[in-house]
């Protein structure tokens, strides 16, 4: 009556072994580490590792080891003091223009555990330490960028329709298009109104030149701002992930703000540099018709603009933008047909159509890729502190258009595979739809994070011990069985967090503490039912069977309702609430297994083969 079949016992054993295996990496403390990753022309290889090791030995700085981890170098140290000293030495050893040096924490999971894919669970900002930024999206700039895009499309449309116009310019929140005659204006009004129903297009009556005014509708305005915010979130997440920052949090706050959390990053200045790498990309034609020397002397042509290449050389580009990075959906470093480094680009549908048209007319002409970094500075103007945005454009690549390009094409003429890889990274991560400013920053030190871990661990252990003592006193052997299940429950929660690489935060620890208290509820119901069956004269074996069978529906109802509440918290909550909900959901799932299946397996092992056992309950 009270025994499991072989497959059930095997299942319980397998879950215990797998849970212990994936929970084990969390027993090993992290090492203090300095992380070196490549930027632009940098190359992380054995030569770099040897140079850094030699520099550390020359300064008598002890380190535990250095290793290449993908496209980054990790140097491990025993304490924070050695880590901080080493960072200064490494900074002076490598070229800061080509490498990013950052403080980090590195897992010490043994190789035999790592071979199974077992990794420690991620710790949130409040436990691991790191930096927190609140970033504000410049919505006015987003609207202006959208209008600039429309103005470029207007030029293409009017040229294709052979409608003659004098000028197209963006002023305030509208695009003004001037025409050579009223007839051309009226033709354009009909064509533009049919093509752009998301714009309000009206005649500018008081103008001497026949003109049209195009402005965004209220619906389009809201969509433009929302799209800018969402695209910036995706772009920031991509850039941070590509640059090797582990477990970042990038999420929306309000209508125009983004929260960025970088756990494990201890250097605020370095984190700002990583975030400052987010910028915009533009593809422009090179102006070969005018002399760069004349432009440097101050005689810049009306339809051209002077830029600077990475090498410091000046280059003259057309003002008209062929394509922006927002239309790139994928980029990968590769080799062209001659075996030279190249970057393979994939565009979305809208970008492919526009790029196809413009490259068809410019085969044989050189095209430049411009990387524009935008930074905000606060200056005193008129006695008031005003935030001024400064753009820092740089030409990162010039290549000749060999054929009409469409959805897929290659950028060639690169100097090395490293440059191709870096350019692909930049393009793949995407461009910002609007500039962003850091309006708030906070740093959580690793020591404070460790204090939070210690206090959280102590709260779990104290609650755990009180439950253990109560269960043993009140239910004796059955209480000890419940305690064993409770310990297994904690192991399985940690294992799930590790397997899914979920992030544990302080609210998550609160969810675990709550789970510890709730996990024994099921056993209390079962054990009390067994007691009732014994009091009415049933045999011990029948009482055990009835206790588990009759209490199951009550246990299931209670846990399902709690699970529903936890899922709602996870679905509609943010930040700390999600962290609490995740551990609560995991705790409910594991406690159902350990309290019912796990304890039944142990009880069967103790009493299942005895005819008339004396139950200690």
Three-class SS of residue 302? Answer: coil
- The pLDDT of residue 22 is 92
Span 58-87, average pLDDT: 86
User: Would you state the structure tokens that stand for residue 131, as one six-digit string?
Assistant: 């930096």
Q: Which residue has the higher pLDDT, 168 or 273?
A: 168
* 168-204 confidence digits (pLDDT tens): 888 878 889 999 888 888 888 888 888 888 888 888 8
As a whole number of angstroms, the distance between CA 101 and CA 63 comes to 16
The 8-class DSSP code of residue 612 comes to S
Res. 422 pLDDT band, cuts 50 70 90: low
Closest C-alpha among 94, 121, 155, 171 to residue 19:
121
User: Would you state the structure tokens that stand for residue 50, as one six-digit string?
Assistant: 């040897």
In degrees, rounded to 5, the angle at the alpha carbon of residue 332 between the alpha carbons of residues 248 and 431 is 55
Q: Give the CA distances from residue 105 to residues 108, 150, 209, 265, in Å, rounded to whole numbers and listed in that order.
A: 10, 47, 65, 8
Going along the chain from its start, the domains and CATH numbers come out as 6-25+445-607 (1.20.1640.10), 31-106 (3.30.70.260), 140-221 (3.30.1240), 279-431 (3.30.1360.200)
Asked whether residue 427 carries a pLDDT value surpassing 70, the answer given is no
Res. 557 pLDDT band, cuts 50 70 90: confident
- The pLDDT of residue 54 is 92
Res. 279 pLDDT band, cuts 50 70 90: low
Element (DSSP H or E) covering residue 5: none
The dihedral sign for the CA sequence 277, 282, 285, 291: negative
Span 213-225, average pLDDT: 88
Least confident of 44-48, 264-268, 587-591: 264-268
- The pLDDT of residue 355 is 86
Closest C-alpha among 571, 575, 579 to residue 509:
579
Q: Give the CA distances from residue 144 to residues 158, 320, 394, in Å, rounded to whole numbers and listed in that order.
A: 21, 16, 21
Q: How does the average pLDDT of the chain come out, rounded?
A: 81
Closest C-alpha among 373, 123, 137 to residue 273:
373
Write down the pTM of the prediction.
0.59
| Contact indicator for 256, 174 with CB cutoff of 8 Å | no
For 199-243, give the DSSP string: EEEEEETT-SS-EEEEEE-HHHHHHHHHHHHHHHHHHHHHHHHHT
């Amino acid at each position: 009556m009270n025994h499991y079949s072989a497959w059930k016992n095997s299942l319980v054993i397998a879950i215990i072994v797998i849970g212990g295996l994936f929970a084990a990496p969390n027993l090993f403390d992290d090492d203090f580490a300095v992380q070196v990753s490549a930027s632009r022309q940098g190359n992380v290889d054995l030569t770099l590792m040897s140079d850094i090791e030699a520099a550390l030995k020359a300064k008598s700085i002890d380190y535990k080891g250095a290793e290449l981890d993908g496209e980054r170098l990790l140097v491990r140290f025993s304490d924070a003091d050695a880590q901080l000293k080493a960072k200064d030495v490494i900074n002076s050893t490598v070229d800061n223009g080509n490498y990013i040096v950052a403080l980090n924490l590195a897992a010490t999971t043994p190789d035999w555990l790592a071979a199974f894919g077992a990794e420690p669970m991620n710790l949130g900002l409040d436990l691991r330490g790191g930096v927190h930024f609140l970033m504000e999206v410049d919505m006015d700039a987003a609207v202006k960028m959208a209008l600039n895009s429309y103005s470029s499309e207007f030029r293409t449309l009017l040229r294709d329709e052979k409608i003659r116009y004098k000028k197209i310019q963006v002023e305030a929140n509208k695009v003004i298009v001037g025409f050579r005659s009223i007839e051309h204006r009226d033709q354009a009004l009909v064509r533009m109104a049919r093509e752009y129903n998301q714009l309000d297009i009206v005649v500018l009556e008081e103008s001497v030149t026949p003109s049209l005014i195009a402005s965004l509708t209220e619906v389009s305005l809201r969509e433009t701002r929302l799209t800018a915010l969402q695209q910036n979130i995706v772009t920031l997440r991509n850039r941070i992930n590509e640059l090797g920052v582990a477990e970042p949090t990038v999420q929306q706050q309000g209508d125009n703000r983004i929260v960025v959390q970088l756990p494990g990053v201890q250097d605020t200045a370095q984190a700002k540099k990583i975030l400052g790498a987010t910028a915009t990309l533009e593809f422009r034609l090179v102006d070969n018709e005018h002399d760069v020397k004349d432009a440097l002397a101050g005689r810049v042509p009306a339809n051209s603009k002077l830029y600077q290449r990475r090498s410091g050389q000046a280059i003259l580009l057309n003002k008209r933008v062929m394509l922006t990075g927002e239309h790139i959906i994928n980029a990968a470093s590769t080799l062209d047909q001659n075996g030279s480094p190249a970057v393979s680009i994939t565009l979305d549908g809208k970008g492919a159509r526009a790029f196809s048209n413009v490259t068809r007319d410019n085969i044989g002409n050189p095209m430049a890729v411009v990387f524009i970094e935008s930074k905000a500075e606060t200056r005193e103007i008129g006695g008031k502190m005003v935030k001024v945005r400064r753009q820092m454009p740089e030409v990162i690549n010039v290549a000749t258009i060999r054929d009409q390009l469409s959805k897929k094409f290659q950028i060639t003429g690169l100097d090395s595979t490293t440059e191709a890889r870096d350019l692909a990274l930049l393009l793949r991560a995407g461009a910002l739809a609007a500039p962003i400013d850091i309006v708030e920053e906070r740093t959580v030190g690793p020591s404070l994070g460790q204090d939070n871990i210690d206090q959280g661990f102590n709260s779990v252990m104290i609650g755990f011990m009180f439950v253990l003592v109560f269960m043993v006193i009140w239910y004796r052997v059955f209480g000890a069985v419940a305690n064993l299940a409770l310990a297994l429950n904690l192991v399985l929660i940690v294992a799930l967090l590790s397997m899914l690489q979920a992030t544990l935060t302080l609210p998550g620890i609160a969810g675990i503490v709550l789970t510890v208290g709730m996990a024994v509820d099921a056993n209390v119901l079962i054990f009390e039912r067994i007691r009732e069956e014994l009091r009415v004269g049933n045999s011990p074996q029948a009482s055990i069977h009835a206790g588990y069978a009759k209490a199951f529906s009550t246990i299931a109802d209670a846990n399902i309702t709690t699970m529903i509440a936890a899922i709602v918290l996870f679905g509609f909550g943010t930040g700390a609430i999600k962290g609490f909900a995740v551990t609560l959901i995991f705790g409910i799932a594991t406690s159902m297994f350990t309290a019912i299946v796990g304890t039944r397996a142990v009880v069967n092992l103790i009493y299942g083969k005895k005819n008339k056992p004396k139950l200690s309950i």
